[in-house]
Amino acid sequence: MLKAEFIRGTLLKKEILPAFILIVNAFSWYFPLYVFFDSTLNKIGIGYTEVTIIFGAHYMAVVLFAIIGTTLVGKIISRNTLLSIWMFLGTIFSAFMVFLNSNNLVAVYLVPILMGIALGLGFPCCLAYFADSVNAENRGRVGGVMLFAAHLGMLLIGFLNNILGFEENVIIFTFWRAMGFFAFQFLKGKNSNIEKETIDTIDTSYKLLISEKSFILYMVPWIMFCLVNFFVGPLQQHHWGIEASNTVSTAEFGIASIATLIGGYFADSVGRKRLVILGYILLGIGYAMLSIFPSNQISIGIYAVFDGIAWGLFALIFFTTIWGDLSGNKAKEKYYLLGELPFLISSYISIIVAPYAAIIPISASFSLASFFLFLAVVPLMYAPETLPEKKIRERELKGYIDKAKKVKEKYT
């Protein structure tokens, strides 16, 4: 999938390297940090009410400062400056995690808010920077490679979290974010066109954005998936057991990383829409099997494969690709802000649902999940393909020509 021509001509271009650093560093820093913080709270022994408040404050900070960052960029502050401040704050606030080891209640409540600021302030701008750095016909493949690299980074940091002590882990997170900050400072000057594109883009209001038919047709299925995924997660953990649930999650993580890489190639050849529909169909089948055999190992194994593939495709499309495609020459930050809100807000559902997992029937939950995921395909049938039709036809023609050349070489 990664041809030498693509690596030299696209991935290693000076316009894309800063975006590569931003995406890989942000994803591989925040998600392991979130898991580390969650496990630290469990060790401290914080009660359910306090956990609900703590994570509620975290997600509120993420959303609030994402809105602030999106409002400021291009008007009061340049995108490069905002991203630099964002990464610098991420470095400083990562070091503040060390105060959790003192069981100080002030730190327990303050650190998640700082984590929210460290993620939210520049996250939409980070994704918009990527979209402006890569043209639409290569956005899938480049996004796939970046997310695959981010998965490897998460795997590395997750491994270190398991073998190192608390203070060493805090140092790892701080050092990793600092590396991303300094690398971006070194490379951002090589991509001066991004600042010009930010100035030349057309601003749009949130009201006009959410009234766009194509935006709604992709947003509704994405919301349905996020709600189903984070509602069912605690039920799986309770009914399958923590060890089995973690095994499934680990398998899905590995499958998703491969799916992002392969899916990126197909996203730029057959289009985004077909991949999204495929993901929902696979998920619907997986949950349908679980609704009949909720604890059967074969059903769980098939579900893990399908869910891993779907997660990889959805991460590729809904995190990096589709909102950049839909925005065109408009300000991309607002598209990415609204596009990532369902994931961020729905994450909080898992925390709310967890105490009630024992009284919620798992078979009925899987049946409803399957129904809603199949239902999510309906708006996608009316959604437009965001990859230009001309590019799809050009790549199909190029594929036919390459095959013809191989056949000719074989018989001559």
Q: Is the pLDDT of residue 400 over 60?
A: no
d(CA 145, CA 260): 7
d(CA 270, CA 140): 11
Q: Retrieve residue 392's tokens.
A: 């799809």
* Residues 331, 245 within the same domain: yes
Percent of the chain with pLDDT over 90: 56
* Residues 144, 59 within the same domain: yes
pLDDT band at 364 (very low <50, low <70, confident <90, very high): confident
pLDDT band at 92 (very low <50, low <70, confident <90, very high): very high
Q: Which tops the pLDDT comparison, 294 or 28?
A: 28
d(CA 184, CA 116): 21
Q: Is the pLDDT of residue 15 over 80?
A: no
* Residue type at position 370: S
* Residues 283, 377 within the same domain: yes
Residue labelled with tokens 């940091």: 157
* Residues 187, 263 within the same domain: no
Which of helix, strand or coil describes residue 35? helix
Q: Retrieve residue 99's tokens.
A: 């105060």
Q: Is the pLDDT of residue 310 over 90?
A: yes
Q: Which residues contact 248 (CB under 8 A, 6 or more apart)?
A: 236, 240, 300, 303, 304
Question: Which domain does 76 fall in, by range?
Answer: 1-200
HEC letters along 122-153: CHHHHHHHHHHHCCHHHHHHHHHHHHHHHHHH
Q: Is the pLDDT of residue 353 over 60?
A: yes
Which has the closest alpha carbon to 323: 40, 5, 43, 70?
Answer: 70
Q: What is the pTM of this model?
A: 0.88
What confidence score (pLDDT) does residue 41 get?
A: 85
Name the DSSP letter for residue 76: T
* Residues 101, 239 within the same domain: no
pLDDT band at 3 (very low <50, low <70, confident <90, very high): low
Which of 200, 223, 244 terminates a domain? The answer is: 200
d(CA 23, CA 141): 14
d(CA 124, CA 206): 14
Which of 147, 173, 200 terminates a domain? The answer is: 200
Helices (H), 241-376: 242-267, 272-292, 297-314, 322-327, 332-353, 362-375
* Residue type at position 29: W
Percent of the chain with pLDDT over 70: 88
The mean pLDDT value of the chain amounts to 87
pLDDT band at 104 (very low <50, low <70, confident <90, very high): confident
- 23-54 pLDDT per residue, tens: 999 999 999 999 999 888 888 878 888 889 99
d(CA 67, CA 61): 10
* Residues 176, 236 within the same domain: no
Domain count, the chain: 2
**CATH code, domain with 259:** 1.20.1250.20
Residue 216, number of CB atoms within 10 A of its CB: 13
* Residues 71, 165 within the same domain: yes
* Residues 297, 407 within the same domain: yes
Residue 157 near residue 31, CB atoms below 8 Å: no
pLDDT band at 151 (very low <50, low <70, confident <90, very high): very high
pLDDT band at 391 (very low <50, low <70, confident <90, very high): low
Q: Retrieve residue 31's tokens.
A: 């998600």
* Residues 113, 16 within the same domain: yes
* Residues 187, 99 within the same domain: yes
Q: Is the pLDDT of residue 409 over 80?
A: no
d(CA 228, CA 346): 9
* Residues 66, 187 within the same domain: yes
* Residues 115, 259 within the same domain: no
Q: Which tops the pLDDT comparison, 122 or 192?
A: 122
What confidence score (pLDDT) does residue 205 get?
A: 82
Q: Is the pLDDT of residue 340 over 70?
A: yes
Which has the closest alpha carbon to 155: 275, 265, 249, 53?
Answer: 249
Q: Retrieve residue 114's tokens.
A: 């700082």
Q: Which residues contact 284 (CB under 8 A, 6 or more apart)?
A: 370, 373, 374, 377
d(CA 19, CA 22): 5
pLDDT band at 408 (very low <50, low <70, confident <90, very high): low
What confidence score (pLDDT) does residue 306 get?
A: 95
Ranges 197-206, 266-275, 290-299: which has the least confidence: 197-206
Residue environment code for 79-88, b if the CB has 16+ CB neighbours within 10 A, otherwise e: bbebbbbbbb
Bridge partners, residue 330, by sequence: 202
* Residue type at position 201: T
What confidence score (pLDDT) does residue 115 get?
A: 94
